[in-house]
Amino acid sequence: NEAKKDSCFEKRKTQMASSSYFLVIALLALASWQTMASDPSPLQDFCVAENSSHVLVNGFVCKDPKDVKAEDFFLAAKLDMPRDTNTNKVGSNVTLINVMRLPGLNTLGISLARIDYAPLGENPPHAHPRATEILTVLEGTLYAGFVTSNPDNKFLSKVLNKGDVFVFPEGLIHFQFNPNPYKPAVAIAALSSQNPGAITIANAVFGSKPAISDDVLAKAFQVEKNTVDWLQAQFWADNHN
């Protein structure tokens, strides 16, 4: 009987060890997937982008460290200066500092933007396919929000005053609107990618080149085709500079 008990005990220990092993493997796989979902972590101090290289990689080829200078990490961006918000119909101007403008950002997984809003101007509904965004209001007031993914499509919004901070999760449609009809607003945003990308929803849907079939869009939005044709005929300006 004692031998039988010992055998059962050993068998149970083996099963528990096996279960623990597979649990650890699953957790490591999950952690690995989460890591791969964002910009890859650098494997050296820096990898300044070599923009003149013709080699195609996911990101940019590294400049030889011996040729790296302080200027590779510097940009006289004049982010303290107001931007012109009258260049487009939406009344906003996004000045993005990403790896294309600041080579030292390559592989560091971060970028920055100044956003100027005219009175009643907005940064229209858009998404960043590769970045989470954290925004803080420097001047004025903003009404900001985002919509969660299907099937809930829950809308979360907040009125932000000077000094307030709001986060827009990666890939979700979001916007900012200046509700003041008399005063402009200014915000600074940090994004968790060297090249976050931006998909402005109206521009992508109604301003694509070539145009999406009006049959497709009329069915999707449940409107008449002449309404889609009118929307596609508008000038869908980009507010990013």
CB contact at 8 A, 129 and 171: yes
Both structure tokens of 96: 């993005």
CA distances from 111 to 82, 99, 100, 122, 205 (A): 19, 7, 10, 21, 26
Instruction: Please enumerate, by residue number, every residue annotated as part of a binding site.
Output: 123, 126, 128, 133, 174
Instruction: Please enumerate, by residue number, every residue annotated as part of a binding site for oxalate.
Output: 123, 128, 133
Whole-angstrom distance, CA of residue 176 vs CA of residue 125:
8
Tell which residue, 115, 123, 124, 121, has the closest CA to residue 186: 115
CA distances from 187 to 20, 74, 178 (A): 48, 21, 11
Whole-angstrom distance, CA of residue 162 vs CA of residue 122:
17
Whole-angstrom distance, CA of residue 61 vs CA of residue 66:
15
Instruction: Please enumerate, by residue number, every residue annotated as part of a binding site for Mn(2+).
Output: 126, 128, 133, 174
Who contacts 119 (Cβ-Cβ below 8 Å, separation ≥6)? 91, 178, 180, 181, 182, 183, 184
